[in-house]
Amino acid sequence: MGVRFPSVVVILVGGMFFLLYLLPWQSLPSVPFPSPSSFPRSRVVVNSNVSLMTLEYPLLDVDPLAESPPLQQYQPHGLVTYRAMVESGVTFNVTGSDVLVILHIQKTGGTSFEKHIVQDLVIDKPCVCWKKRKRCKCPRPPSRDQSKPEEQRSADSWLFSRFSTGWICGLHADWTELTACVDSELDRAYGTPVQRRYFYVTMIRDPIHRFLSEFRHVQRGATWKASRHICNGRYASPEELGKCYSGRSWAEVSLSDFVNCSHNLAFNRQTRMLANLSMIGCYNKSYMSPQQRDKMMLASAKQNLASMAFVGLTENQKISQYIFEETFKLRFKIPFTQNEDTYSKSTLDKTTPSELKAVRQANALDLELYAFAEQLLHNRFNELKVRDPYFREHYNSLGEQNGYHFSWDDIENED
């Protein structure tokens, strides 16, 4: 028996490798993930029977019965979620190494929201802005640690946005670009690696109105050609992005032509910009079937949206302001006012039923994502309201000083 045992083991092991060789592993697509060394301490695990994720604390705060395909993905390094802030008592520390990262999606009111952050936030050391330069400096308040040089301390900003840092991760950088870029860019600006916590925030808008607003902006000559579209360390190729027009811009385009170009990045822009594109082959649409790509992209966008420290809705300014203030334990000097969206409404009024149907079909993923965001917003509002012993007083007195007020005109004119 002592002689035959190794032979049996060799036969069994050899048989296993032979069977593995016969299996068609080469036909299975490989989903690229970050290297194990880059994984955060907590890994996201999704139960295939439910749409909730489990971490060291519950991550999603939405209806658990909501339809969402099972998805496994890893949260970016240093990400602080809304759930961690509310349930684990994590607070945003301006004097420490915390950074507020604004993911700015075109035509959602992101510029207006960012103006509130740099102009109206009541904070120990407010941002200093130069109007003509459209740039602000948002250094941290003085701390007890004075060992670092003044230049290094002044380069350490608590805000990552177009007004404070500029588009250093690319023009309108999306989730995929920001999560791969922010940490290294801040280290480069600071001059040395720093262990930071990141609080991601964004604004979401009704997809039909957002799409029509982008259409009007493109009609006026906007292109966003400077956007990088970087994923997995490389730029998307011209063949992957495609092109909808020749010449310098798509100015004076008709709505029909705008909707009929299959390469139009305005389609489902919010879903694409909030998803982890590395999971679906980046901009390579042949990586998987269109149905599988859409399903995974939407699931990823929902999970990332739910993990963000703050999500606001353009159509719900007051509730959005209250949620931000209660989550971050900060206050704004003025209220976010809600004005009528006259611009996209006028475009919508001129749209034919067939054009509107085409717009809705082209933005089907965004429509589902928006419904998810609405539920997310109201769930968070109701939760914070219950936790707030001074809710009525706080909610009825949002903002006390005169200053900048939200306007739909600004959305039409923003970049």
CA dihedral 52, 58, 59, 63 (to 10 degrees): 40
Whether 172 is catalytic is yes
pLDDT of residue 186: 95
Highest averaged pLDDT of the listed ranges 54-68, 200-214, 389-403: 200-214
pLDDT class of 35 with cuts at 50, 70, 90: very low
pLDDT of residue 300: 97
pLDDT (average), residues 311-325 = 97
CA-to-CA separations, 386 to 64, 295, 389, in angstroms, rounded? 20, 34, 7
pLDDT of residue 55: 30
DSSP class per residue in 147-213? -S-HHHHHH-BSEESTTTT-STT-TT--HHHHHHHHHHHHHHHHTS----EEEEEEEE--HHHHHHH
- List 77, 104, 116, 172, catalytic entry: 172
pLDDT of residue 143: 65
Q: What pTM, to 2 d.p., does this model score?
A: 0.80
pLDDT of residue 199: 98
pLDDT (average), residues 167-184 = 97
pLDDT reading at 268 higher than 70: yes
pLDDT reading at 21 higher than 70: no
Bigger pLDDT: 395 vs 72: 395
- Computed over every residue of the chain, the mean pLDDT equals 82
pLDDT (average), residues 306-315 = 97
Whole-angstrom distance, CA of residue 394 vs CA of residue 409: 28
Position 47, amino acid:
N
Whole-angstrom distance, CA of residue 84 vs CA of residue 94: 17
pLDDT (average), residues 153-176 = 91
Whole-angstrom distance, CA of residue 324 vs CA of residue 241: 35
Question: Each residue of 325-356: pLDDT tens digit?
Answer: 999 999 999 999 877 666 778 889 999 999 99
Strand 159-160 versus strand 331-332 pairing type = unpaired
Bigger pLDDT: 151 vs 168: 168
pLDDT of residue 245: 96
Question: Each residue of 77-116: pLDDT tens digit?
Answer: 899 999 999 999 999 999 999 999 999 999 999 999 999 9
pLDDT reading at 390 higher than 70: yes
pLDDT reading at 235 higher than 90: yes
pLDDT reading at 406 higher than 70: no
Share of the chain above pLDDT 90, in %: 67
Share of the chain above pLDDT 70, in %: 75
Strand, helix or coil at 25? helix
Nearest CA among 283, 168, 291, 295 for reference residue 229:
283
